[in-house]
Structure 1
């Protein structure tokens, strides 16, 4: 696997110790606070963190570069960086810069995001998301792994020679069968978001494997997004989780995936509570640890863990970090 310690294939991923297969989603709390949070995670034994690029907080790639310079071993990943606002060559150069700071510790997760966000917030045209993602991923992976790229597609035209290659796993976001199949064809992993685990195992994993078989390449890792609430108060969990996840119910890609997974939201989101019950892992520290451990044996390669605070956000996050770091 070259000089990288990060997994490029599913078979490499599952050979890692369990702690290396767990990643914590870090919320952007402002650059300085976020860097301190990543340092806290490393001190607690967390082996990898992921950050999302939202429209308005600080830049995730820059934050991770700065955090990397102040940490020693923790792996860093994006989940995800939207592709439409960034030229693929610009994404490559930012990735190269991060690799110069944290060689072998960074994974780039990219995806198209959603029409309402791209067009209403960023003001960029959103069309043919999978076609754009296919071309974009090909350009970025080629440039990083080979040190040069000459590509002419329907949407992008990029011709560049870099000083050297900067091999980096490039993962893509995935919700529906087509996106998981695309990940198998062209990416170094698929990052799910709010997908029930039974759906991932029954629908997503076979699509990922099929895409890899069609491209005659090893199956890349499947990173499953899971939500954890350090509480056994199911009423409180329902309340805070619905508030935290409400925005996703307005996005067609998610509603379609929920229905395909057997959790149609229906009129007035009547099916939302049942979906929350399926998505959120909760209980005592031991119960949460046992559930995370069980998921790693069921067929997913890695877990991307997002905290939903119930009563004391700071205390619960510190407890979750310790659980992840001790597995």
Structure 2
């Protein structure tokens, strides 16, 4: 599987039972990976992946992302190690600090220095998974703990929107996971910053997982409307608005999705056109695609055509 181009399926926002059904369906179809996002009380991502690991054999299982504020890094490492033991070499742990307003409201925390916070979090997890032990005291976290085993090849990735986050991923993490990132920004500034961070730390650049909306349909207007309906909130959120501004969409927070913004994050058209768009991304340095399937309201194909395309493209 690792020699093939990997497209993973975004299972964001489903109930636990529906997510498990989709994991099983994706493996049956030959889709190489799935990703689950922490969102709005739908389910606990790591518990769900543990259940999915016990029911599947080959599909890669990822979090995109698990929110750091919800648990201490020692607990995150324990849960990740448990899934690794159930499904060796299949878990990819993606973590992130989330959005300031939501995290402060939900967990009652002081959201400050998110990249410094994330760097310490990654350090503790990677020490535990690599060495089986950590003794760490930082500005944000302290930990002194041992695991009964190691998982040195379990990748610990971080969410990234702007250059400093990609640079941090290059310096410390095993990968960067984007979200609603313009494709040209990902293959340009993001990759440049990721590689610079890796160079600063004397290591090879880790992979960049590019999240992208996907809708296999000849109805381009319908596909754009699907993005507006199903990914509506992102341009209004501060972190994302800043990323769009750096990408050249200077009034994103006021205007919401424009056609130009949508076109920069969407793979659409018929199967051949979509394959050409994906080929261009992979040859530009993107390591994997995290596919958020958007569906046209009252459309004939639903998600089935897009899922079938992903399966065939990765085969």
Same fold? TM cut 0.5: yes
Residues 103-157 of structure 1: per-residue CA shift (max 9 Å, x gap):
1100100011111110123332211100100000111111111111111100100
Asked whether 1:284 is paired with 2:270, we answer yes
Q: Which residue of 2 aligns with 1:26?
A: 11
Counterpart for residue 100 of structure 2 = 115
Q: Does 1:17 align with 2:4?
A: yes
Of 287, 291, 304, which aligns to 1:318? 304
Q: Within 2, Cα distance between the matches of 1:266 and 1:170? A: 31
Match of 2:180 among 174, 188, 194: 194
Partners of 2:118 and 2:46 in 1: CA distance:
19
Matches within 5 A, 1:259-298: 259-266=245-252, 268-269=254-255, 272-298=258-284
**Counterpart for residue 285 of structure 2:** 299
- Which of 27, 41, 50 matches 1:65? 50
Per the normalisation by structure 1, the TM-score is 0.91
Provide the C-alpha distance between the structure 2 equivalents of 1:313 and 1:95, rounded to a whole number of angstroms.
39
**Structure 1 range deviating more: 240-249 or 311-320:** 311-320
Q: CA deviation at 1:315?
A: 4.3
Contact 1:45–1:321 (Cα < 8 Å) also in 2:
no
- Other-structure match for 2:238: 252
Q: Map Cα deviations across residues 222-262 of structure 1 (whole Å, 9 max, x no partner).
A: 11111111222233223221122221122111111001111
CA deviation string 1:277-298 (max 9, x = no partner): 2211111223222322222112
State whether residues 230 and 310 of structure 1, in contact with CA within 8 Å, keep that contact through their aligned partners in structure 2: no
1:25-47 CA-to-partner distances (Å, cap 9, x unmatched) read: 11342112211111101111101
Q: Which residue of 2 aligns with 1:172?
A: 158
| Distance in 1 (alpha carbons) for counterparts of 2:167 and 2:35 | 23
On the 8 A contact 1:75/1:106 being kept in 2, the answer is yes
TM-score by length of 2: 0.94
The answer for the alignment partner of 1:11 in structure 2 is: none
Which is further off, 287-296 or 163-172?
A: 287-296
Contact map agreement 2:235 2:257 (CA 8 A) in 1: no
From 35, 39, 55, the equivalent of 1:50 is 35
User: Mean alpha-carbon deviation: is it higher for 172-181 or for 247-256?
Assistant: 247-256
Are the structure 2 counterparts of residues 36 and 165 from structure 1 closer, same or farther at C-alpha, using a change threshold of 3 Å? same
Alpha-carbon offset, residue 266 of structure 1: 4.8
How far did residue 318 of structure 1 move? 2.2
For 1:225, what is the secondary structure of its paired residue? strand
User: Residue 43 of structure 1: SS of its match in structure 2?
Assistant: helix
Map 1:180-259 → 2, pairs under 5 A: 180-259=166-245
CA distance in 2, matches of 1:177, 1:252: 15
| In 1: Cα distance, 2:128 partner to 2:36 partner | 23
Structure 2: runs of 5+ lacking an equivalent: none
CA distance in 2, matches of 1:51, 1:315: 23
Equivalent residues of 2:235, 2:244 under 8 A apart = no
* 8 Å CA contact 1:263, 1:271 repeated in 2: no
| Cα distance between partner residues in 2 of 1:150 and 1:159 | 4
Q: Which has the higher contact order (CA 8 A, sep 6+)?
A: 1
**Is the contact made by 1:226 and 1:305 (CA closer than 8 Å) also made in structure 2?**
yes
Against the structure 1 CA distance between its residues 266 and 76, is the aligned structure 2 distance closer, same or farther, given a 3 Å change threshold?
A: closer
CA RMSD across the alignment: 1.8
Q: Could you report, residue by residue, the CA deviation over 1:49-71 in whole angstroms, capped at 9, with x for unpaired residues?
A: 11111131111111111011111
Determine which of 127, 133, 145 is the counterpart of 1:142.
127
TM-fit CA distance, 1:24: 1.2
Aligned residues: 312
